[in-house]
Chain A
Amino acid sequence: MVTVLLPGPLRGEAGGASRLTVTAAGTLRAVLDELAGSWPRLARRIRDERGELRRYVNVYVDGEDCRHLGGLDAPVPDTAEVQVIPSVAGG
């Protein structure tokens, strides 16, 4: 099982949960696709309609920024921890 950790502003889109578990693994895309099936509003706050990660949302796989691991193709082991963190942006 992969654990997905959510930041405070997104927990309302996941029934208030701070962490979710998904069975999909292999790639970050597979993990986020499974999330989209259960929590579509959560998913579209992380990715746009093209499926691309939103510019100011960072996703870490076992502590590594996914953008350094191949982006949505980042390998995600089946015991991984995926952390979603808003970037330091905004005015």
Chain B
Amino acid sequence: MATLLAIGTAKGLFLATSTDGRRSWEVSGPHFPMTGVYAVAVDKRRATPRLLAGMTSSHFGPSVATSDDLGATWHEPDRAPVAFPADTGASLGRVWQLTPAGPGQPDLVWAGTEPSALFRSDDGGVSYELVRPLWDHPHRERWGAGFGGQAVHTVLPHPEDPERVTVAMSTGGVYHSTDAGASWSPGNTGIHAYFLPDEWPEFGQCVHKIARDAGEPRRLYAQNHHGVYRSDDDGRTWSSIADGLPSDFGFPIVTLPGRPGAVLTFPLAADSERFPAGRRCRVWRSLDAGDSWQALSTGLPEGPFYPAVLRDAMCADDGEPGGVYFGTRSGEVYASRDEGDSWSPVAAHLPDVLCVRAAEV
């Protein structure tokens, strides 16, 4: 059994492989050099895992490619795999997220994009169609854009109910569908939007990332633009779980597939001070669904540390015990094979790390 860690960077995709229980890593790449790889996925619903990558060339635009041989070769269709229909007047900026659906829908893959939209693929992630009801939502004209652009950056399929899917966008917040995408409603009650005149709006929050609990599908976690939250009703209402963290600002939030109640973040000091909290390289973990937090730094750099970790640049694998990974804007990648208790470097001196995804393959 090997573990594959896909590392999307500002200038291409790197693939790290470990065949010794995640102790050491061999890094190859870059694939798609000089493209920003904002989205990557490892789809294990098929006999041979499929890799999916969403890359954007600053000159030649965005695309999505797939690989059925763990990255040895890649396939990109002639027709643009993700494209807005002509009547929308929109053009794809980039693909921010590629998310395989649950095991009961083995060919369904979701794509979140900039501008904020959701696409679905029914051929395993090769070609995609716009999910019209979200695009046509009356709120859309009031969704805003953060510094990173306006994007649907997170898609959470429900693990058991194929009719339920949740997305998060910056700005706009969390939206749910309970009818496989035919209709959508906001789910932001309790999430603070301090940057708006109405600080508790129905929508408009800058939710940076959401994640689903491993054991309780109705339990979600959110890292907001200031604010860390938990929902116990499938993302309808949210309560703060920031007590015990050094800061409530940050971008990623990650759960461990094999550990219900486990959630990890990488706090930054503040919106106005986007250095790691305390200017130290520390991951913060809760094992009780956010009721208490513990700093994790064994094996991480001990001195002053300034790079941030972006919203998709932290992930967990499906190993046992769970592996956790993060990459920094300074091109360093760290791995833990014990749920975050200790860390070791995977790679350094890469371009800015935009996203990581890992799985046993």
Residues on A facing B (Cβ under 8 Å): 9-10, 40-41, 44-46, 48-50, 52, 54, 56-57, 86-87, 89-91
Contact = CB atoms under 8 A, between A and B. Distances in A.
Contact of A90 (B59, B63, B78, B79): B59
Contacts of B57: 45
Given A40-B79, A49-B80, A49-B83, A56 B59 contact: yes
Contacts of A49: 80, 83-84, 86, 91-92
A23 to B, nearest CB: 21
A57 B58 CA distance: 9
A49 B88 CA distance: 11
B59 A89 contact: yes
A31 to B, nearest CB: 18
A50 B89 CA distance: 7
B31 to A, nearest CB: 14
B84 A45 contact: no
Interface residues of B, number: 19
Given A49-B80, A49-B86, A9 B59 contact: yes
Interface string B8-22: 001000000000000
Interface of B: 10, 34, 57-61, 63, 76, 78-80, 83-84, 86, 89-92
B58 A56 contact: yes
17 contacts: A9-B34, A9-B60, A40-B78, A45-B59, A45-B61, A48-B61, A49-B80, A50-B86, A50-B91, A54-B60, A54-B61, A56-B59, A57-B60, A86-B59, A87-B59, A90-B59, A91-B10
- Which of A49, A56, A57, A86: most chain B Cβ within 10 A? A49
B78 A41 contact: yes
Given A10-B60, A50-B90, 11 more contacts: A9-B60, A48-B91, A49-B86, A49-B92, A50-B84, A50-B89, A52-B91, A57-B59, A89-B59, A90-B34, A91-B10
Nearest to A57: B59
A66 B349 CA distance: 40
Contacts of A52: 91
A88 to B, nearest CB: 10
- Which of B10, B57, B59, B79: most chain A Cβ within 10 A? B59
Contacts of A44: 61, 63, 80
A44 B34 CA distance: 17
A90 B84 CA distance: 25
- Which of B60, B63, B76: most chain A Cβ within 10 A? B60
A45 B89 CA distance: 18
A86 B59 CA distance: 6
